[in-house]
Amino acid sequence: MKNIKMILFDIDNTLVFGTKASSFYLSYSRVLERTLSESLNIDLKEGKKIADEHRKNFDGHGEIAFITYGLGMEKWYETILSLDPQKNLDPMPAASNVLKFFKKRDMIIGAITDGPALQAGRILKATKIERDLLNFCIGWEKGQPMPKDGSEKIYQKLCQDFNISPSQAVMVGDSLRTDILPAIKAGLKAVHISDKKITGKNKWTTIENIQLLTNLKKII
């Protein structure tokens, strides 16, 4: 672990996890389906079908349908903000404890999400994850591209900004498409959060939740 200087966390279903979180993020899926149906003037069953097709083709990112059908991603931005984390999420001391573990080791800690920055702040507040445990928190700003968006550029930039080698950074996230594969392409190490094991030899490590990261030296 001594060679690792920076650790990056996705927020949704990574830094924020558990039964309540799963239920909250499932509501994202239902709202996505309803918004697609209303925007395309189709029934809910057809909207769900479209969302499911995009989830299958884009590693769970059904919101790509807004691009496919020319609705614009700002529609999805506003839809996300209609969901209230404060009413649906509980405090997450487990996540704070993991961040404190790495903070004590003088590591650069960052959160990076393709969700709206405003919503990320609401989620951290609702879960009582102390903001000062993070050196930075990057989210999607209205009218701008998503910060990750399936590209390695954000990871390259962060390493340059903090003057570290990509091999000294770790990305932790639940999405292969936006978290893991781009980070590996940029030269970072990566930890995939999933309860499903992917067969074959992979360039990343899979664990069930971030609480297991305290064994990072053994994991990567």
What 8-state DSSP symbol labels residue 199?
P
Residues 83-99: b if buried by 16+ CB within 10 A, e if exposed: bebeeebeebeebbebb
If asked whether residues 55 and 96 sit together in one domain, one would say no
Residues 207 and 98 in one domain: yes
Domain count, the chain: 2
Do 156 and 210 sit in the same domain of this protein? yes
**Residues whose CB is less than 8 angstroms from the CB of residue 78 and which lie 6 or more positions away in sequence, other chains included:** none
**Phi, psi angles (nearest 5°) of residue 173:** -165, 170
Report the distance separating Cα 9 and Cα 191, nearest Å: 10
End position of a domain, from candidates 60, 87, 114: 87
Q: What is the pLDDT along the chain (220 residues), one digit of tens a residue?
A: 568 999 999 999 999 999 999 999 999 999 999 999 999 999 999 999 999 999 999 988 899 999 999 998 898 999 999 999 999 999 999 999 999 999 999 999 999 999 999 999 999 999 999 999 999 999 999 999 999 988 999 999 999 999 999 999 999 999 999 999 999 999 999 999 998 776 667 889 899 999 999 876 666 6
Give 137's strand partners. 111
Residues 26 and 118 in one domain: no
In a domain, 163, yes or no: yes
Residues 103 and 77 both lie in one domain:
no
- pTM of the predicted model, to two decimals? 0.91
What is the residue whose two structure tokens read 């069953």?
Answer: 45
H helices of the chain, in order, are 19-40, 44-57, 65-68, 73-81, 85-88, 93-103, 117-127, 153-161, 181-185, 216-219
Task: Give the CATH number, domain containing residue 148.
Answer: 3.40.50.1000
Could you tell me the residue range of the domain that residue 47 belongs to?
Answer: 21-87
Q: Coil, strand, or helix at residue 174? A: coil
Could you write out the DSSP letters of every residue in 55-96?
A: HHHTTT-GGGHHHHTT--HHHHHHHHHTS-HHHH----HHHH
Tell me what pLDDT residue 128 has. Answer: 97
Per-residue confidence (pLDDT) for residue 218, from 0 to 100: 64
Do 54 and 104 share a domain, yes or no? no
Based on the fold, state whether residues 114 and 213 are members of the same structural domain. Answer: yes
Pair (33, 83) in one structural domain: yes
Considering the domain boundaries, does residue 1 fall inside one? no
